[in-house]
Amino acid sequence: MSRRKPYRPRLVRVPITRGVVDSYAQDLHFPLMAAELGHFTTESFDKIGAALNVVWGALQFKPPKDPAVLIVIESGMRTMNECAQRGDGTGIWKLTPIELASVTAAANKAEEALPHLNGLDIRNAMHHLAQVRAETRRAA
């Protein structure tokens, strides 16, 4: 018997496990909790920024059904950029209460979006961001 239906291979979907979601939640929420207590450092900033960038990059590969998710995450990323400019200029790394609310909302949306993503999308986003960083360092 021959197959009448043409063969169309499916792409492999690597699901996001609870451990990955927990890891991202820790990278997002622990530094934010420390910032609420007044202990915000460049390391905290880097952890939050990296996690938001990876999730945002993965959402570019697979856009969410609700476009508000991207808007909220981008808002948090812009807030982080303003904090970086202020921190680089003055040497004081601190999030104001309004900035903290914006970044917390972005962290919550990023955490909500993670289970709907694919492990390959996360990997591709990390790879793409590493390439962008390398190009930026070469240009500087």
* Domain boundaries, position 125: 18-139
- 98-133 confidence digits (pLDDT tens): 999 999 999 999 999 998 898 888 999 999 989 988
pLDDT 10s digit of each residue in the chain, 140 long?
577 888 888 877 788 888 888 998 898 999 999 999 988 889 999 999 999 999 999 999 889 999 999 999 999 999 999 999 999 899 888 899 999 999 999 999 999 999 889 888 899 999 998 998 888 888 87
Please give the Cα distance from 25 to 65 (Å, whole number). 22
- Model pLDDT, residue 72: 97
Count the domains in the chain.
Answer: 1
Please give the Cα distance from 42 to 101 (Å, whole number). 19
Residue 2 included in any domain: no
Residue 54 included in any domain: yes
Residue 12 included in any domain: no
pTM of the model: 0.84
In sequence order, what are the residues at sequence separation of 6 or more whose Cβ sits closer than 8 angstroms to the Cβ of residue 104?
32
Residue 9 included in any domain: no
Please give the Cα distance from 45 to 82 (Å, whole number). 12
Residue 4 included in any domain: no
- Model pLDDT, residue 98: 95
- Model pLDDT, residue 92: 86
Residue 42 included in any domain: yes
Residue 29 included in any domain: yes
Residue 121 included in any domain: yes
- Model pLDDT, residue 1: 59
In sequence order, what are the residues at sequence separation of 6 or more whose Cβ sits closer than 8 angstroms to the Cβ of residue 82?
99
